[in-house]
Structure 1
């Protein structure tokens, strides 16, 4: 029976007589709790946090540096061998524990790949199979960690992490990205302060060119954490031994922990299936018989000494790291608590309450959320200034609405065209120059029809803005609880739908009222008409007549006898009805009396005009340009000739005055235009003053009040519906559960580390 088989079959015995049991000298009862605790922590946090710096020994070395042979000598197990191919394709964590019975298990990412592996020789085969699966049977590198747990009576209590061999240039069979992945793995593991770097170096190569030393110096410049292991001593050329001893004596590249010398199985030994026990015996013979290396201290040569040395350094490193680990884990807990607060959880322990306590907690959270909602919806927080984004936008929309309402007014050619059409449509038995209310009303009804569009647009804009503000507040306050969020949106949509319908009814009512009462003989109309005429009068560029005051006969359709006075001494002239005649009055306040209808004024040279042209020249000029042909008479000849006539009957003007009857239409249009502009202004101002106020009341204040009421009602949700309505978003629940798991693990780990500190303190005291 071979030595390997004897080891595996006799593992039930606590006493095994084989040379490899020299490794048992590294066993120390006191270190088992330390190593076991660190391994347990490493297992526990592997899936939740890879940033915790746990003490470890990481093995690095170039391909074919003898790295696998060193690990085999330390563990007694077989590792993959691939000839020209990569043998280590992913990080390999090798946990060795001394136990009375044999047990081996292979794991990956918390999943057991193979349990109860029968012999130490079979482990390498299972590792190779899993590596090929991870790399798709290619010569490439994977970052997945394979975990090998081995228990046997000859093993040291030691944990090593073996990284893939360093390569500088890839071969044709190797993946081109392998170099970069290996460098990333080295950086990830060696950059941690608690990592002990075990650099495997071929003794036959110049140490200054060693890739393992290069990377060790990169992350440990002072050599504080690096242990050098010189391998393949039998390949050192004659005469080069002294140079190698200089390296060993820390004279060339000094390391704090120095160097150790080992001679593991050669490739010939492996090909000849030389057992590990035989290899250990041959190693000791090599050192004892070597003229150059026999003087090397026993604790610095051979694999058994290396195992003891590594165990001591790992234990020392763990003891030193305990306070730092506890501090780091407390920092992790603080970070978790901060993430809980970000999720709206002030104290995560409240999530672990009993049903009754949880109901009280959720009720309080619901009430608090509703209070916050009511505060946000009004844009006011205690101690803060009013800062509601709705009102600034509302003012902007109001200004746009005012401008659009004024732009909708009929003016100039559009207004004249509507007046003409209305005059034709409403023509009746009245005299041709009779001012008809029907014409004014017809045009104003067209204006009322035109203002529907800006009113509807204003309503739509306010509705959209209000909904945006309310929706943003709802999302801000309730985004962590989707059921409550949806319910609040549903409440808001129901309220908004009802109030929107109310606003449209208000709009229809306002327009209906305007259409029904286009005109009423009231002071508002008179004042507006007076102001309109006065503006045009003051803006008139025409100078008053310079001739002496004269009187002529003027024929009116509504007033039999009307006198028009013109004075060279006054720039202001008004028409005032007085018992069948018009009297002169220069007081502007008299303009609040209704002006007389248009009049015809006889002119010399066959031309005629209206005295209103001197009062409202802008309107007159516009009307003349758009409706009538231009007068060809010289302006100096346009001089009214007025004469006093008896009030008993109108005097027929002589034929020589040659009155132009076509100007009657121009004069009527001017009068209509003045009156319609005044009516449009009244309608516009009335709607501007009332409609936005009604809309704001319905869509803003009334909606806010109803949301207040509904949120208060929702605050009193029954306990049987509380869990459902306060449920978090699925992603939030998942994140919340992750944080709860992390915090529990961190707390449990801190407790274990405290116990470990106490155990070590007691052991030191004893």
Structure 2
């Protein structure tokens, strides 16, 4: 049978630093940010999982019926020279406990589980780390997960099976995790839930290593099936299977220590009628330890390049998120005032860029004025469409007039009252679209300004609220003034007037187009209708052009320029008339988020240094 190889120079230079690197990254808390290469130990309840870990670690871990492992346990094993003493370190949350004797481990782990998972038999996702340094352990790190429970018993939560499976899946679905599936040799391997769970996330078995336990409990006649399983002939796994025999409860009762247990295991496989024929390296805890160390080393080497890329991406995103939150409010009244003035000045600068249509936007977004211009174009189109419809209605109006109002006058003499009534109706019908245009532009400006407020003051709820209050008040004020001017404009438009030379020139243009056969007028046969149309279309063209420019000018002046200028002034007044400490009270959630990002950034930077140092020394 196989014996653990001595630590030669290659091992010291390559394997140990590699495993130490990942342990160091995990101790930094990097697993909160990225998935680290690991070996997760899973198994059904009473599969012998704890016994395997005991044999590997050389210490007694909590064991018994029901749920024994109630929290993920990171088991860091570090081989030291024989001249150094055994020592252990248990850590969870922000607590650490130094262990000077292997006998202290079991109770220390039980206590930590009670702190994290509470009394009873519930579980927790919070991790416990147990570091053991001994001359009798391999250089290896494993993550022990709760055994899979099928039916809740005692005071276990009713959904305990789902809770445990969710916790296990959280680890084994990661591509960076190797699943060490512990299965009793005396059961049908196809029915074990742990292997089924592993196969769901790793259907090809590339990240799964099977370990058979309790070979001494195999029924007579079933030994060949076990051998076939170990030889990968039953349920195939790319990494295959191994078989071990750990201490039984009788061994523990007889106080059989782990060293003698390993020797007893070696003799068991060496002398067994059937299992002695197993290939070299397939059996015993010692061979499993060597195999796991090599598997972890190779897995780390394989995943390190991707881990470094992910770290770079995460570092960049964390830095960007931290920059977006800013540095926070500085202490001291003088510093606060300077900070407030700077924040408001930056905000006002962005408003100025909006007012001048110079703000930076990313595709597919548009500048505020670009959105407004679209609405102004729609307004001009609506005016043109209405003018054409008015011209179309002209024939009916004129012919009706001829029938009911014509006196002794000869054809072609224009009735001015009819002309005025058609113009006034056109003006009347365009007033509501003009007011709607005002509302549409306001609906563009308001959220855009609010967005700028959110960008600059999102971490300062009082300042943000004060700015938004001014936004609503000033925008409503300018809306009312613009509405009043638009209504006044339409009242003025009902006074049918135009400079004589402008009107005469437009009338000549309309008549020339008609003579050249252009437009609807060319088809008018009735002289009265045609003559009326000359005047009507001339005036409508002038009115349409006037409204197409004047209404947007009124709206631009009040809803954008005047509004933003007043808002900028009111924001500057805040720096003089308000208590800066009150305005600059920071959102507690944002403050906590900033601290978390700072911690994360520090963690990622330190991890980056660890990776860089390892790369240079490799």
- Per the normalisation by structure 1, the TM-score is 0.53
In the other structure, the counterpart of 1:76 is 58
- For the residue of structure 1 that corresponds to 2:129, the secondary structure is strand
Summarize the alignment of residues 482-497 of structure 1 with structure 2, pairs less than 5 Å apart. Answer: 482=457, 485=464, 488=467
In the other structure, the counterpart of 2:512 is none
Question: 1:485 Cα deviation (Å)?
Answer: 4.3
Tell me which of 368, 371, 376 is aligned to 2:349: 371
- For the residue of structure 1 that corresponds to 2:153, the secondary structure is coil
Q: Does 1:41 align with 2:25?
A: yes
Do 2:86 and 2:134's aligned partners in 1 also have CA atoms closer than 8 Å?
Answer: yes
Do 2:471 and 2:567's aligned partners in 1 also have CA atoms closer than 8 Å?
Answer: no
1:220 to 1:488, Cα distance in 2 relative to 1, 3 A: closer
In the other structure, the counterpart of 1:128 is 110
Q: Does 1:477 align with 2:452?
A: yes
Question: 1:69 Cα deviation (Å)?
Answer: 0.6
1:48 to 1:369, Cα distance in 2 relative to 1, 3 A: farther
Summarize the alignment of residues 654-673 of structure 1 with structure 2, pairs less than 5 Å apart. Answer: none
CA distance in 1, matches of 2:49, 2:162: 20
CA distance in 2, matches of 1:486, 1:174: 48
Question: 1:148 Cα deviation (Å)?
Answer: 1.3
Question: 1:327 Cα deviation (Å)?
Answer: 1.5
Summarize the alignment of residues 114-513 of structure 1 with structure 2, pairs less than 5 Å apart. Answer: 114-336=96-318, 339=321, 343=324, 369-377=347-355, 386-388=370-372, 472-482=447-457, 485=464, 488=467
Higher mean displacement: 290-299 or 478-487: 478-487
CA distance in 2, matches of 1:731, 1:155: 45
Do 2:30 and 2:607's aligned partners in 1 also have CA atoms closer than 8 Å?
Answer: no
Question: 1:389 Cα deviation (Å)?
Answer: 9.9
CA distance in 2, matches of 1:24, 1:361: 64
Higher mean displacement: 23-32 or 189-198: 23-32
In the other structure, the counterpart of 1:752 is 610
CA distance in 2, matches of 1:321, 1:499: 61
CA distance in 2, matches of 1:702, 1:319: 62
Q: Deviations over 1:159-216 (max 9, x none)?
A: 1111111223333553321111121122211111121111111111122222232222
Write 1 or 2 for the structure with the bigger share of helix.
Answer: 2
CA distance in 1, matches of 2:124, 2:584: 44
- For the residue of structure 2 that corresponds to 1:294, the secondary structure is helix
1:253 to 1:497, Cα distance in 2 relative to 1, 3 A: closer
Do 2:445 and 2:559's aligned partners in 1 also have CA atoms closer than 8 Å?
Answer: no
Do 1:378 and 1:388's aligned partners in 2 also have CA atoms closer than 8 Å?
Answer: no
Higher mean displacement: 298-307 or 478-487: 478-487
1:111 to 1:23, Cα distance in 2 relative to 1, 3 A: farther
In the other structure, the counterpart of 2:16 is 32
- For the residue of structure 2 that corresponds to 1:257, the secondary structure is coil
Q: Deviations over 1:121-163 (max 9, x none)?
A: 2211122223234443222332222221222232221111111
State the superposition RMSD in angstroms: 5.0
1:729 to 1:270, Cα distance in 2 relative to 1, 3 A: same
Tell me which of 105, 124, 127 is aligned to 2:89: 105
Q: Deviations over 1:453-483 (max 9, x none)?
A: xxxxxxxx99999998776444221323336
Do 1:373 and 1:473's aligned partners in 2 also have CA atoms closer than 8 Å?
Answer: no
CA distance in 2, matches of 1:696, 1:184: 59
Question: 1:238 Cα deviation (Å)?
Answer: 2.2
1:465 to 1:192, Cα distance in 2 relative to 1, 3 A: closer
CA distance in 1, matches of 2:440, 2:587: 27
CA distance in 2, matches of 1:309, 1:381: 62
In the other structure, the counterpart of 1:629 is none
CA distance in 1, matches of 2:279, 2:374: 85
1:492 to 1:143, Cα distance in 2 relative to 1, 3 A: closer
CA distance in 2, matches of 1:372, 1:740: 28
Do 2:176 and 2:303's aligned partners in 1 also have CA atoms closer than 8 Å?
Answer: yes
1:722 to 1:465, Cα distance in 2 relative to 1, 3 A: farther
Q: Does 1:704 align with 2:563?
A: yes
1:285 to 1:498, Cα distance in 2 relative to 1, 3 A: closer
- Per the normalisation by structure 2, the TM-score is 0.65
Tell me which of 80, 89, 103 is aligned to 2:70: 89
CA distance in 2, matches of 1:197, 1:265: 23
Do 1:139 and 1:174's aligned partners in 2 also have CA atoms closer than 8 Å?
Answer: yes
CA distance in 2, matches of 1:329, 1:387: 40
1:377 to 1:208, Cα distance in 2 relative to 1, 3 A: same
Question: 1:56 Cα deviation (Å)?
Answer: 0.7
Gap runs ≥5 in structure 1 = 1-21, 353-358, 396-460, 511-523, 525-691, 761-766
CA distance in 2, matches of 1:319, 1:693: 66
- For the residue of structure 1 that corresponds to 2:71, the secondary structure is coil
CA distance in 2, matches of 1:65, 1:320: 30
Question: 1:314 Cα deviation (Å)?
Answer: 0.5
Question: 1:98 Cα deviation (Å)?
Answer: 2.3
1:170 to 1:502, Cα distance in 2 relative to 1, 3 A: closer
Do 1:481 and 1:729's aligned partners in 2 also have CA atoms closer than 8 Å?
Answer: no
In the other structure, the counterpart of 1:410 is none
Do 1:225 and 1:257's aligned partners in 2 also have CA atoms closer than 8 Å?
Answer: yes
Give the structure with higher Rg (CA).
1
CA distance in 2, matches of 1:176, 1:705: 60
- For the residue of structure 1 that corresponds to 2:99, the secondary structure is coil
